[in-house]
Chain A
Amino acid sequence: MEKHVVLIYPHPDDEAFGASGTIAKFRNEGVPVTYLCGTLGEMGRNMGNPTFANRETLPEIRKKELIDACNVLDVDLHMLGYRDKTLEFESRQEIAEHLKGILEEIKPSLVITHHPEQAVHPDHNALGAAAVEAVRLIDESERPKLWVQAISQNHVEVLGDPDIVLDITPFFKTKMDTILAHRSQAQGVLGSMDKEKVDMEEIAKHRLGTERFYTWNF
C-alpha cells in the first residue's frame, strides 16, 4: 500500500479528467493524497455554457471549483501560484527546486504527473518535466516512485503501451462529481472530446473509464 501520493498537474480540472478515479481508489484504501496544482487556469477559454465567467473573474471561480473538487476527492490541496500558459517560460530548475522542497516535506511514496513530452498542453509538458526533475533530485534512497501520464494522440506509438492501466469504473461516480465540480469547464471540455454525443456522463464513461500511466525509470 502507498504511504502518501502526491499529484502534480498545472490546471484546476487536470486532476478531474486525468486521475480522479485513481485518486478515489487511493483514498478508498485510506492513502493520503496531496494535489500540487500549478496555476488557477487563469487563461482558460471555457467561461461556462451559457457563459457566467469572464477573463477577470475566472481565476477566483476556478479556485473555488478546485477547492470543491478537492473536497469531493477528500485530498489536501496546495496551490503553487504560477500563471496559466507561462510555465514553459519559467526556469525549469526553479520550479523543480520548488517542487522538491514540498516533496521533501511530504515524503510521498508515489508521485503522479504529466509526461514531459506527450501531454499536449505546453503547461502539462513543462510542469511534468519540472516534476520529473524534482523527483530525480531526491536522493535515490528516499526517492518516491513516479508515474507519468501521456495524452497525445500518438503517445502509444511513441512510448509503447502504458504499464499502469487502472479500471476506475468502481469510482466513476466520484470521478463524475469531481469533473462536475469544475462547473465552468466540465461541459466545454467533455463536449470537445466527442462532438457526436451531448450527454456528459455518456461521453465521460466512453472516454474516461480507465486511467493510464507510465512508470518513469531514472
Chain B
Amino acid sequence: MEPIDINKVQTELERFLNKDVYVHLETTNGAYASHFDEKAYNVGAFIRNAKVNYNHAKIVGSGNAFRVGLKLDLGWVYAEGVSQYEVDEKNRLLMAGHDREGRLMVALEISETPFKN
C-alpha cells in the first residue's frame, strides 16, 4: 500500500459508481486491547461482502487522516482514518489506516467480485 493521493483515490472511487460492488468494511483495536491494558475496551466490527450500489462517492481529508463516504440509495458507507491505498491485481480498491506499529485500525475495500470468504 502507499500513502493516499486524494485525487487518485477519488478517481478510483468513481470507477465503481452505479455498479453492484462488494464491500469489506472493518474497524478493530484487537482482541487483546483489554488484556494488555485493563482500562481499554475491546471494540471492533466488520462486514465482509456487503453488496451495495453507490451513486456518489467522496474522499476528504489530508495527511494521514482521510474519510471516505459512499452514498447509497438508502444510506451510506463511511470510514474514517484511512491513510494508505492500493489497487490490487484483481483491480480492487483497498484502503486502510494503521497505527504507529503497523497494526490495522480501519479498512475499507471495494471490489466488483466477492472477496474470498
Residues in chain A within 8 A of chain B (CB atoms): 43, 45-51, 54-57, 59, 83, 85, 120-123, 152-153, 187-188, 191-193
Contact between B103 and A120, CB atoms less than 8 A apart: no
* Distance from A84 Cβ to chain B, minimum over Cβ atoms (Å): 10
B102 touches A121 (CB 8 A): no
Tell whether, in the assembled complex, residue B32 and residue A192 are in contact, meaning their CB atoms are under 8 Å apart: yes
Given A54-B96, A56-B115 in contact, is the A188-B103 Cβ separation under 8 Å?
yes
Chain A binding surface SS class: loop
Contacts of B32 in A (CB 8 A): 120-121, 192
B102 touches A48 (CB 8 A): yes
Chain B interface residues (CB < 8 Å from chain A) = 1, 24, 26, 28, 30-32, 35-36, 38, 46, 84, 86, 88, 92, 94, 96, 98, 101-105, 107, 109, 115-117
Enumerate 18 A-B pairs (CB-CB under 8 Å) in ascending A order: A43-B26, A43-B28, A45-B28, A45-B30, A46-B102, A47-B96, A47-B103, A48-B102, A49-B101, A57-B88, A59-B116, A83-B117, A120-B31, A120-B35, A153-B38, A188-B102, A192-B32, A193-B36
* A55, B92: Cβ atoms closer than 8 Å: no
Residues on A with C-beta less than 8 A from B96 are 47, 54-55
Bound-state CA distance A55–B49 (Å) is 13
- B102 A55 Cβ-Cβ under 8 A: no
Closest partner residue, chain A, to B34 (CB atom)? A120
Smallest distance from the beta carbon of A200 to chain B beta carbons, Å? 13
**Chain A, residue nearest B85 (CB):** A54
**Given A54-B86, A55-B107, A192-B36, A43-B102 contact (CB < 8 Å):** no
| One of B24, B104, B117 near A45 (C-beta < 8 A) | B104
Minimum Cβ distance to chain B for residue A44 (Å)? 8
Q: How far is the CA of A169 from the CA of B35 in the complex (A)?
A: 26
Say how far B3's CB is from chain A's closest CB, in angstroms.
Answer: 12
Which residues of B are found within 8 Å of A122, using beta-carbon distances?
A: 31
**Which of B88, B92, B101 interacts with A191 by CB under 8 Å?**
B101
Which 7 A-B pairs rank lowest in CB-CB distance, beginning with the nearest? A49-B102, A45-B103, A51-B102, A121-B31, A45-B104, A45-B30, A120-B35
Query: What is the bound-complex CA distance between A186 and B79, given in angstroms?
Result: 28
Q: Which residues of A lie under 8 Å from residue B105 when comparing CB positions?
A: 45
Residue among B36, B46, B98, B109 making CB contact with A56, cutoff 8 Å: B109
Q: How far is the CB of A173 from chain B (nearest CB, A)?
A: 25
A216 to B6, CA, bound (A): 56
CA distance A213 to B96 in the complex (A): 38
Q: Tell me how far the C-beta of B17 lies from the nearest C-beta in chain A, rounded to whole angstroms.
A: 22
Distance between Cα atoms of A43 and B103 in the complex (Å):
11
Q: How far is the CB of A22 from chain B (nearest CB, A)?
A: 22
With a cutoff of 8 Å between Cβ atoms, the chain B residues found around residue A83 in the complex are 117
Contacts of A54 in B (CB 8 A): 1, 86, 88, 94, 96, 107
